[in-house]
Structure 1
């Protein structure tokens, strides 16, 4: 049975003038809309009490399970305003399906995909004035998340779970243009192994990447690259993005899933590249293949992808004792730029959505 969502409007929403000022330069993840959505789960009642209320702090018992055992999942997605004023999200059913997979891995109850999409739509509709115009690739970032909210210190799946959606206007990821990243190859830290949580979108995966990210920044790099845990030879992903390697013959390789996050943008790029006539392989990809391919010119472009940045060019790979730089160290390569443009044009309604990716909210 579908959730019934009630709405209690905020008694003190931001003024239209305040919202307009925020949307001029929204940044990322610092300002939040007037409302939030919350749903409760218990074994006896299932998902119930779905409600939109004023955005505000949560009251949590110090024994709340998520604080001790990290039983939680989340998603990241965006709402886009098109030129005609309509508002759309990008492949929300895929985010919903991934949260189902993550919930299984974290022993959390499953929120049905239709209810997930309805919850996201409902919050966007209530806070629609916070969806920026498309100029400058602005959007409304949406953060659905689920956590163990039972006050209990025993190690078992929580018997009280909360699902929420919050929203924050976001500006372009690239303030100074599409500048290639400098990546640090960590040889001390790994992100996930077989049977682990690498394919789940859960906060612990991101927490475990932070020390490696600090290591990268200490070496003057922007992001960290993780290798597989078994052999320490195969490229997996960045701290929060999937990777692609473009060869001189036009073929593309991306690391296979299993121990990495199944990115929504990642799969869209595979479809886009296929449509453009490129062969795309999902396989194990060795770091030596990366080094040697870039050095020889066989690999002509490297890029990463994710919800926030969409597509990000990669210029240099650095490790303890060396580095290798490809042709695209000052600007993105031609295919990187082309795929990125194709994708954002679909998201903002400037190009035909032949894939059926866009979901109209308003």
Structure 2
């Protein structure tokens, strides 16, 4: 009797869970179908390049068409909004970065979607440290000099815009060192680099790819990287921890999310595939060339990481009174 009752109970559950699981496992993705990979930044940037690397491999491995859809603007909110409101059928992906974790606080009460409710974490892909750079002719030779100068006077510190990773990193620096800086936001990393090289700025806590070429060309001096280890492209440059600023650890990471209504089985399959792609030797090599380090994590590991980043930057943003443009 107990066995029969158990079988009857299981039979009642099958209509609710069986079809969805079978559909997700057997019919997703449909060969020849199209996946839209939304990048909320302009073409050619690091997030865009990373999405194209992953999207190309995903298309090859699954036999689907992956279309990169660039939707820049609104502090990276326009693209995120589009994905948050898309059907949760696994055909729409969103590329996100540290910017989106900060945007949860910066756009609180202003966004037309709820980031943590309307989007689901799929996979963390890679992280890139910030590079602290000064003009080649600067009297600031190392991090110790930087701190001393910041305590002696107000430094002119550039960034690629309000609320961007370079701005957040300089705010963390100012807060931990209890100094005041003059923040000068630019519309992008390139113009800020031009003024730094020209001596109009004292320092930038730069996205690694935006400044590394200038460092290698001798136009800028790198003081430290904010990652957990030295960077292979500048092995002689110490980490901030080695230079005496252990609190100043920041990585501008990139990851994938999908609409919040996406079923668990699809999220799991997408996440596992993204991790597998990132661990391919040729992909890992390409990622290192771009200045990233592979940090592939599926949804179970990425979700708590994203939550911790949102919470971390919420406190820094509030303390520094940072506002979005």
TM-score (norm 1): 0.29
Of Structure 1 and Structure 2, the greater strand share is in 1
The structure number with the bigger radius of gyration is 2
